[in-house]
Structures are given as C-alpha cells and as structure tokens.
Chains A and B, each alone.
Chain A
Amino acid sequence: MKLLLKKIVLFLLVPVIVTVSLFIYFGAPPPKLSTSVSFDAKMHFMKKNYSNTPVDILAFGSSICLNNSYSTSIIKESKNNRFLNISSWGQNMKENYNLLKIFAKIHKPTTVLLVSNYIDFADKNKQIKYDLLDEYVSNTKPTIYYYLQDLKIKYLLWNAIRLHFYKKVDNRFGYLKYDKHGSVRIPLKKPAVSDAIWEGHKLKKGYFSNVTQYLYLDSISKYCLSHQIKLFYILSPFREGYYSRLGNQELALLNNLTGKLRSILSKNNAYFVNTLNIVWPDSLFLDYSHFNKLGAKKFTEHFLKEMKKEQLLRKVYKTEIEGVIDTAKIVMRKTG
C-alpha cells in the first residue's frame, strides 16, 4: 500500500513539476474572471498597478479604445499622471456600464472617455463574473482565492502561454503589452494582418439595431451625470480606404448612429465628439478601424482638442443662455 502511494506521488510529481515550470516560464496568468483572456489580463493589470488609486480620467471601451487612445497625449493634456484605460477586446456598452459602476467607486474619476464605434454595440458576451471582479479589484481577499473559484489548470496554462506571446510579439494584431496606463500601442505601421482584417467587414443593419446596448449607453451617461463625472463619447473613425468605399446605405446607417448617439448623450449632458468628419489616411492604421502608434497619437490629440472645443462651446452657450435668462428676468422685473 505504502509502495503504491509512494509510486503514485512520484509519478504525479513529474506532471506537477512540468506544469509549475511552465507557469514560471510563461508567467502567472490572471484568474478566470470571464471567458476573455484579454479582459482577465486587463483586470489583472489593474489590480497589480492601480489598486485603490484615485484616477482623474478613466477610459472604457473595446480594442478601439485600447489601441486608439494615446496615453502620453492624454497625460500631457490633463497635466497629471492620473489616467487609466480600462478597455479590452470586444468590450460592449453593457460591459462598459457594469465596469464603470465598479471602477468609478474605487477610483473616483472626474472624467470618463468612451472611445468607440458601431462595433461596440454588438451583443457579444464575455460572461464576466462581476461580483467576483468587484472583490478582486477591491483587494478584499488574497489572490489565490480567485484562482480557486474556477480552477481550470488547462485554461490557466493556455492563457499563460497566449499572454506570453501576446505581450512579446508586437507585429501581430493581437498585441497586449500595456503601457503604464493600460493602453496598447502597436509599433509598426502595418503589422502582419490578413487581407480580410485590413479590408474590414461590411456594415450591416444588425450592428446598429441593438436597442439594449444603446440603453446601456444611456445608463452610462445617466450614471456619470448623477455622479458629477464628465462623460466624453469619442466616435472613432475608419481608415480612408475603407470609408471611401462605403455605399449610400452604409453611410446612412452611420449617420443614423451618429444621430442616435448625439441624442442619447446630449439628453444627459454628456459630450459627443465625432471624428468621422475628417479624412484619416490609411498609413495611420493597422486595419480598417485600429490606429497604429502614430495614428493613435494624432487621433488622440485631435479628439482632445475637440473635447476642449465642446466644453468651451457649452460654457459659452451656457453663459449666453444664462445671460439671456438674466436679461429676461431684469426686463420682467422692470415691467412688473
């Protein structure tokens, strides 16, 4: 009996040693908080670097926000170091809303950026365990607890291997090395993307008719309004070659989207910055909608200028309106 137990222990030692060695070599993966490796990696990054840190500007979104927001420009503009990019691949409005509630509570931002386009209104589901996530980023329990909640060694090992390559190989579309603030910049002008990714997919009505996701955008803007957070929605553009090929129907869909967004955001005092009205050369892009490093810098500088303009316009408008109201009050008092 003892001989059998001894042999079993020695036999099992080999795969255990191999597995542990693989984890050491590839690095510990994040615990399984969702079904998305990119999401889990971002949450892990947040916990490691920004636990309970106050932050002025939070950015939410999908890979559009992840790749298109240039952290250095935002920091320079805001004149402080307190910017955090909480975006991950395929993050839609519903997920943005749920994450906003969790992270706004921790970081108490004054401004929220949503850098996004139509693709973020799709109904993709990452099956995020929000309650567990809330505890995880709030540091209420030791990290090992979260691994034990869903201990799938194969999933964790596969993620460790994938993340190791995503962080190393910078000429691939799926690059995941974060800068200090959680954004990702892909260095090369045009990495090894397939023709299909470069060309992009056709705009279909289905992408624009998902009522639920628009309701979540409304919820985001209401939340920001009630918590005195300035919300800026930046409608991210397409590369020139893609945009110029769009037919009338597709342009109509985009116009419709723009109108819908403007209406939802203005209702809740949020700001809308439309960058589709400018031509963005192909040389600034990785594919049809994601900027490379140079493109992200130019785009970010552009939308920061537009944000300032919008705020100024609103201030002037508010001042003018207040001026008109004040004048009207004076007139009414004089005339009785």
Chain B
Amino acid sequence: MFFNSIDFAVFLPIIFVLYWFVAHKNIKLQNLLIVVASYVFYGWWDWRFLSLILFSTIVDYSVGIGLKKQDEKWKRKALLWTSILVNLGFLGFFKYYNFFLDNFVSAFSFFGSPINSNSLDIVLPVGISFYTFQTLSYTIDVYKKKLEPTRDFIAFSAFVSFFPQLVAGPIERATNLLPQFYKNRRFDYHKAVDGLRQILWGLFKKMVIADNAAEMANQIFNHSAGYSGSTLVLGALFFAFQIYGDFSGYSDIAIGTSRLFGFDLMKNFAFPYFSRDIAEFWRRWHISLSTWFRDYLYIPLGGSRGDIRIKIRNIFIIFIVSGFWHGANWTFIIWGALNAIYFLPLMLLRKNRVNTNVVAQGKYLPSVKEFLNISVTFVFTLLAWIFFRAENVGHAWSYLSTIFSRSIFTVPSVVGNRHSLLIIFFIVAFIVVEWFGREDQYAIARFGLKWKRPVRHAMYYSIIAMIFWFGGSEQQFIYFQF
C-alpha cells in the first residue's frame, strides 16, 4: 500500500491505536504487532514475496547466532558469505538476471555467434534492494563484532521488516535501529506531533511537487524528439524535482511515521540541491545508501588510502555499483560513472571535505560565490539525471545533443501552458521554504512553531488544501522500482 493511499490512511491509525493502547505495556507484544503490521503492509503488494523476506530474515538471524558461536576465522567467513550470497543472490536474480542475459546474448551476437535465449518474466519484489542491504548490515556488523547478535527473533524480524522504511528506506543500520526494538518505548507527545508534521511535509513534497513535476517530466522525456533544447532543459529540471520530492518525501513520511511509534530513523536527505560541490551533494543525497557503500564497500576496498590508482579504482567502483544498485540498465551505470568523474578531482585535490557545514549558516542569503557553487553543482547533477531518467543510452545522448544545440536559445514550448506555470510556481515556492529550513531536520521542522495556534493550524490546513487540490495524478514512488 502506498503512503498516499486511503488504505494506508486506514491502516496507520489502527496500528497506532493497537500499539499504544493494547500492546504498550509489553515490549514483545509491540514488536510482534510491528512484525504482523509490516507483513500485512508488504503483503498488500504481493503476498508471494513475503516468503522471500521471511527466508532472508531466518537466514540472517541464524547466521548471527552462528557467528556468536564460532571462533574459527574460516567458519565465521563462511557464515558471513552465506548471508551475502543468499541476500545478493536474491537481489541478483530478481533484479539483474534479464540484464545479464540480454547483454550476454548481445555480446555473442556482436561476435557473430547469435544464441537463443529466453528472458524470464520476473516480477521485482518491492523493496528488495533496501531490506537486503539492511539485513546485510546486521550480519557484517556482527561479523566485525561491532554488534552483539540478537536471540530475539521477533525483534530481529521487526528490524528487517519495519514497515515505514521497508520498501524505500532509509536503509537503517542494525547498530542504530535494532537496539531500539529492545528498549521500552514510552509515548512522547512532542515526538509524535513532530512526526506528524514531517509526514505532512513529506506528503506535500510527494503529491504536490513530485507528482506534478513527474507529469511534465514524463511528457517531455517521452516525446523528447519533438521538443527544443530549452524545453528539454526544463524537462531535466522537472525530473530533478520529481526525484527529489518523491524520494525525500517518502523518507520524510517514513521517518515521521517511525516517530509516531517511538523510533528514530536516520536522516536520508539534507537539502542536497544546496550543495556547493559534488562531494557535499553525496553527503546530503540518499545518505543511508551512500554511507552504506562507504562503510561496507569503499572502506574495505581501502577507501582513500593507498596510491592514486587504488583511490581512482575505489571511487569508480563505489559510484558504478551505486548506479547499478538503482537498476539493471546501462544508463544507471553511466550515471554512476559520471558522478565518479565529478567526484574524482575533488578527492585527488583533497577538496572533498571543504564544505561540511550548512551553506550560508545563520544568514538569509548565500554569498555570490556560494550561489555560483550551488548553481554549478546543480547543473552537473542535472546532466547526470538525464542518464538516470532516459530510457536507454541512445535516448540520453540524443536528449543531451538537442540541449547542446541552437534550440536551447528558444522559448520552451511548455511555458505558455497554465498547468506548467503553476508547477513552476510550486517548485520555486518549495525551494524558498527548503532554503529557509535548511538548518533543520526537515524544512518545516521549526516553521511557525512560535506562532499562535490558530495561525499555525491555518498553515497546516493550507498545506493539506494544497495536497488535496493540487496533488498531481497519482504516480508510484520512483524508488519502488529499485
């Protein structure tokens, strides 16, 4: 069920009431309720894939117990690799089987030996890329002895399947989330209210910004051959806000919902479009995934230690794998490689940790230099997003070549359209609100808190009215396809 659906609007209050009224005195009962609710939530899409998540849970729980009992290095490694192979095996099969098969066949055809193959009609289980990484973080941390393995199967199942973040993150670390399932959770009124505000903002980002931007982006990308360069630039801009509004909106709803149940999830987005360089962008965009790759892939490979070739190799591996994680298409790999190219100079010149604070902290406006840096970083990101969104590499190239043609100097064809002007207005207003809220957890975290209650409530009603009236035609959350 989607967060912005009537099903979820009925589901959430029921679970909330049961959690705090019926199960509140017993932590095991609360965890069990979370497991049941999470399995119902996940099964709502397709009950057949419950077996996958259950199997993955059982394997990793058993691996954790086994790692506790084993001292011999090779046995511990074997257990770890069992977990890695099972989880990545499922991921590889469901997500990448057809991609590898098709490319294998193409390669043979290219060399003059065509072979027959049958692509499988594989349905990608929702959220598989997220929960497999989440459980892997558990087994890897237990292996490294950073975390004590749990004997509480219900708590572990709740950690793996926790419904607010199950299908599109944030990808939680066992060290952060699992211990929260052992602690008694007391209802915190202010935390719950803050969670509701974050849910509201997340819904606004998803339904008003992302879904409306998606309509325009889809129209332009799907018919890009018929548009001028300037219109294609607009299309890329719409996509940039579609993916940001969609994904960060989902994260806000996930984090806000978790807070209703007394859980604290990690921040997943920290206003990435205000980044002053690419390194900062990657510290602010999909933080849970980029830190996962940093800790479980980049650092074990050597990180930024070693000679220049190792550093370059590691950067490319990280970004290309990150791109590949998003989907089985060469466009994602190129998107990743592009980001590696952007990042490399900063790393080699040791300028990748220059901008670590919030831009224009304590000020209303950025300096000219900051504004230029933000703009340049955004333009580079935008060019990369074109590969991310394009159907295939050829589409991306033709899209880019039209942008870099004389038609970029024409007036975009969608500009006269009232609907597109309305969306542009919303995006501009959204950027302003995000700018003024950039020092907080989410843009409206402190917005209006000091106002009188009627005025504050009027603001909430305005946001609800905008969601109700201007919410775009329903689009699936983008990251569900990953």
Contact = CB atoms under 8 A, between A and B. Distances in A.
> Are chains A and B native binding partners rather than an unrelated pairing?
yes
A3 B193 CA distance: 11
A153 B467 CA distance: 12
Contacts of B187: 1, 4
Nearest to B187: A1
B471 A154 contact: yes
B281 to A, nearest CB: 36
Q: How large is the interface on A (under 10, 10 to 19, 20 to 34, 35 or more residues)?
A: 10 to 19
A1 B20 contact: yes
A197 interface: no
Given A154-B468, A154-B471, A15 B461 contact: yes
Interface in A135-169: 151, 153-154
A8 B189 CA distance: 12
Given A11-B457, A154-B469, A3 B189 contact: yes
A14 interface: yes
B6 interface: yes
A261 to B, nearest CB: 36
23 contacts: A1-B20, A1-B21, A1-B187, A1-B189, A3-B189, A4-B187, A4-B189, A4-B192, A4-B193, A5-B17, A8-B196, A11-B457, A11-B460, A14-B461, A15-B461, A15-B464, A15-B465, A15-B468, A151-B6, A153-B468, A154-B468, A154-B469, A154-B471
Nearest to A148: B6
A8 B12 CA distance: 13
A14 B454 CA distance: 12
Interface residues of B, number: 17
Interface of A: 1, 3-5, 8, 11, 14-15, 151, 153-154
Given A1-B20, A14-B461, 16 more contacts: A1-B21, A1-B189, A3-B189, A4-B187, A4-B189, A4-B192, A4-B193, A5-B17, A8-B196, A11-B457, A15-B461, A15-B468, A153-B468, A154-B468, A154-B469, A154-B471
The 5 closest A-B pairs by CB, nearest first: A1-B187, A1-B20, A4-B192, A4-B189, A154-B468
A8 B200 CA distance: 13
Contacts of A14: 461
A14 B17 CA distance: 22
Interface in B448-469: 457, 460-461, 464-465, 468-469
A100 to B, nearest CB: 32
A153 B464 CA distance: 13
Nearest to A14: B461
A309 to B, nearest CB: 51
Interface string B186-212: 010100110010000000000000000
A4 B20 CA distance: 12
Nearest to A154: B468
A111 B187 CA distance: 70
A294 to B, nearest CB: 36
A1 B18 CA distance: 12
Contacts of A5: 17
Contacts of B192: 4
A154 B457 CA distance: 21
Contacts of A154: 468-469, 471
Contacts of A15: 461, 464-465, 468
Interface string B376-403: 0000000000000000000000000000
A3 B465 CA distance: 25
